[in-house]
Amino acid sequence: MAEEFDVVVVGGGSGGSAVASRLSENPQTRVALLEAGGTNDNWVVTTPGAIVLMVAGPINNWRMETVPQKGLNGRIGYQPRGKGLGGSSAINAMVYIRGHKWDYDHWASLGNRGWSYDDVLPYFKRSEDNSEFDGAYHGKGGPLSVTKLQSDNPVQDIFLQAAREAQFPIREDFNGEEQEGAGVYQVTQKNGERWSAARGYIHPHIGKRSNLKVETKSHATRILFEGKRAVGVEYRQGKETKIVRARCEVILAAGAFQSPQLLMLSGIGDAAALKQHGIASVHHLPGVGQNLQDHPDFVFAFRSELPHFTGLTFPGLQRIFKGIGQYRRERRGPMTSNVAECGGFFKTRPDLDIPDIQLHFCMAVIDDHGRKRFYGNGFSCHVCLLRPKSRGSVWLKSADPMQLPMIDPNFFGDPDDLETMVAGYKTTRRILDAPALKAIETEDLYTSDVRTDDDIRDAIRSRADTVYHPVGTCKMGVNDPLAVVDPSLKVYGLEGLRVADASIMPTLIGGNTNAPSIMIGEKAADMIKAELRA
């Protein structure tokens, strides 16, 4: 007989960890959390420097790929996504960014009441335990530890000096009153260790809250319905197929690719498309899997003889081994680095109201997401387009729930995106060509021959890919034919089913998506609690 809970949460990533934790604060609410991966509580996850073992490889990573991208010269893009408790917050670069105030006010202007910046700020603050900032924009004592880096890398000062020389403002806090400028990122760490969403919200309560049951290695295969009401979830754990029932709600938080996939596998989506896979329609909802948005990203890379970069050289390896010893003793130094230590938000035109590009300055050469080994020392700098006009989609490869979905971000499908990236390339070069950084460059690895705008376009099409921020595939909206959920995150046309992850974003926010995904889980929990009490 299937075990029954008040709420079943599918996916233990950033949104799912937050919603499951907050709902289980009430000992009267029984919560089950299903996660396809493992517990993610070992040194590979907690050591920031071990990010290189996860993003490029199979550890805690779904390692998804896109279909060939016309806008990228037919190349297949790479989509690393976190697998295990914490989801992508367990494998990401730990950058703590919320996005711009404008993004959330824009959501509200589209009819999504309750999602303006003033509405969501309390949830950002509630989630946060910020060791550096407080006041109107920051929180203390929340589950998510946010702090400054403890890598002690002097290159941070070189980057900031280059930004000053290029006449860009310096920003201490990207999540305060203003976003524009260059700075050193705050990170989701504590005492030099990664602080994933699971570490903040779930790990402390496993085995301690009798009303919270966390099932890992449990791959959800189908949402179960009685009529139009979601009543449970079917999942595979090892070789067994199991069922867990939900008295009140099923909360889907499997991410921008797998939340729409599970809906489609369960008969929710475009009925004609589902029929091609032999899936009977439970509810025709054509927006499922549509509206995919992601940040297209270009990477500059340079050799450097400076000893503060990580690379496959004798001095570089020496630095790593010394860093491991320092990390064990002090929880400081190179092993606490998130790689992308610095960056900023910039406007490609002075007449813009808000920044339209973001930089991630990395303390190593990152080639093909780290999948290509680079022999030598150096640094790299990412530039991504914050609000692309291109829209892609996710769809089923087959009716087999163990198959990964088909993914098409449609990078540069809208020609305006490529032109803004050209402008972003030029803006980034202003910093890279500033005297402070120019002095430490010994070789431009990929762009030394790039001169004209056509050269820049060719370089972008040849080298760009994701910077890991897919959203939008279960769009929140009102009077919108592609909307999947309403502003309370309930799936249209169904009962007892919500989505609480980055897939509900109507438009991509201007920044990294982990903190906003946690905010979505926090806000979803409040809305669900209000209804459970009613």
Cα→Cα distances 48→59, 166, 195, 199, 376, Å? 14, 31, 9, 14, 21
Strands 465-466 and 296-303: antiparallel
CA angle 527, 532, 534 (to 5 degrees): 95
Rounded to whole angstroms, how far apart are CA atoms 313 and 97? 33
Using DSSP, state whether 361 is helix, strand or coil: strand
Q: Which residue from 151, 155, 128, 123 is spatially nearest to 139, judged by alpha carbons?
A: 128
Question: H or E stretch including 526?
Answer: helix 514-533
Q: Which residue from 33, 2, 490 is spatially nearest to 245, judged by alpha carbons?
A: 2
Half-sphere exposure in the Cβ direction for 144 (13 Å, CA): 35
Strands 31-34 and 212-215: parallel
Q: Taking a C-beta distance cutoff of 8 angstroms, is the pair 38, 85 a contact? A: yes
Rounded to whole angstroms, how far apart are CA atoms 63 and 297? 18
CB proximity list for 412: less than 8 A, separation 6 or greater: 71, 72, 296, 390, 418, 421, 460, 461, 464
Catalytic residue among 203, 283, 382, 469: 469
Structure tokens at 251: 């909360």
What is 470-505 written as a DSSP string?
-B-TT-B-SS-TT--B-TT-BBTT-BSEEE-SGGG-
DSSP 8-state class, residue 407: E
3-state DSSP: the chain helix, strand, coil percent, rounded to 5?
Answer: 30, 25, 45
Q: Which residue from 177, 203, 180 is spatially nearest to 190, judged by alpha carbons?
A: 203
Cα→Cα distances 132→124, 148, 171, 175, 426, Å? 15, 7, 14, 12, 33
Structure tokens at 484: 């999947």
Q: Is 308 a catalytic residue?
A: no
Mutual orientation of helices 415-432 and 453-463 as an angle, nearest 10°?
A: 100
What positions carry a catalytic annotation?
Answer: 469
